[in-house]
Structure 1
Amino acid sequence: MSHVVSVQTQVRDPVAIRAACGRLALQPPTFGLAKLFSESKTGWIVQLTKWRYPVVCDVNTGSVDFDNYEGRWGERAKLDQFLQAYAVEKATLEARKNGHSVTEQSLEDGSIKLTVNVGGAS
């Protein structure tokens, strides 16, 4: 039986944050205080490609703070790629933790299809 699931991502897992950064060939995330344009935020700091300021992930609330000045200081598409990579990595980690195998397929529209096979480890 097949099920289609839509995911709204909250960023709460440092392991999946690190894996998403690796998937996108970004610098490994660091934990600390990051300066955005007009304020500072504490959390897991991710430096996206060609972004002036980092993205800060608060794993306690699931929120992602950033300042890209409506795209002038960083393309929103780069953040969307990070969030997609995080969601794929988190779903894969959870499925494998529960003894399931996962296959991944990149689709033409840029989305990623994950298939979780219940009961099979990969």
Structure 2
Amino acid sequence: MTQIRDAAAVRKACDRLGLNEPVEGEVKLFSQTVSGLAVQLAKWRYPVVFDLATGESKFDNYQGYWGNQQHLDEFLQAYAVEKTKLEARRKGYSVTERSLEGGRIQLSVNLGD
């Protein structure tokens, strides 16, 4: 699974998907309390909480009854796209993005001359 370690990319992924801003702190899931950066996915009973130090994610979607796994997969894809764009731009590269069929995304990184 994708490791989530960059708060800026999490925020950009939330913006991209029209989700509320992530919230840092302690969050109660069904059977445990966890700390990290919490993202409330659409129609999920509990948020997904990312520990940026370890890259781990914690969530309780009760095998899909409390949240559709597809929504988490879409978030992880958005995070990966935004993280790639941030890193490329940090190095002075330009990035173009193209949507492909089936929800896939193609990124092209231009390294210059």
Common topology (TM > 0.5): yes
**One of 22, 28, 34 as aligned partner of 1:35:** 28
- Verify: 1:94 aligned to 2:87, yes or no: yes
Residue 63 of structure 2 aligns with which residue?
Answer: 70
Measured after TM superposition, the shift of residue 109 of structure 1 is 1.4
Query: Displacement of 1:9 after TM fit?
Result: 2.2
TM-score, reference length from structure 1: 0.90
In structure 2, the gaps of 5 or more residues are none
| RMSD (CA atoms) | 1.0
Q: How many residues align?
A: 113
Shift of 1:111: 1.0
TM-score for both structures, normalised by structure 2:
0.97
TM-superposition CA deviations, 1:41-79 (whole Å, max 9, x none): 100000000000000011000011100000000000000
- Alignment partner of 1:19 is 2:38: no
- Larger fraction in helix: 2
Question: 2-side partners of 1:27 and 1:109: how far apart?
Answer: 25
* Residue identity opposite 1:11 in structure 2: I
Superposed displacement of residue 119, structure 1: 2.7
- Say yes or no: does 1:81 pair with 2:74: yes
How far apart, in 2, do the equivalents of 1:74 and 1:55 lie?
A: 10
* Percent identical residues: 59
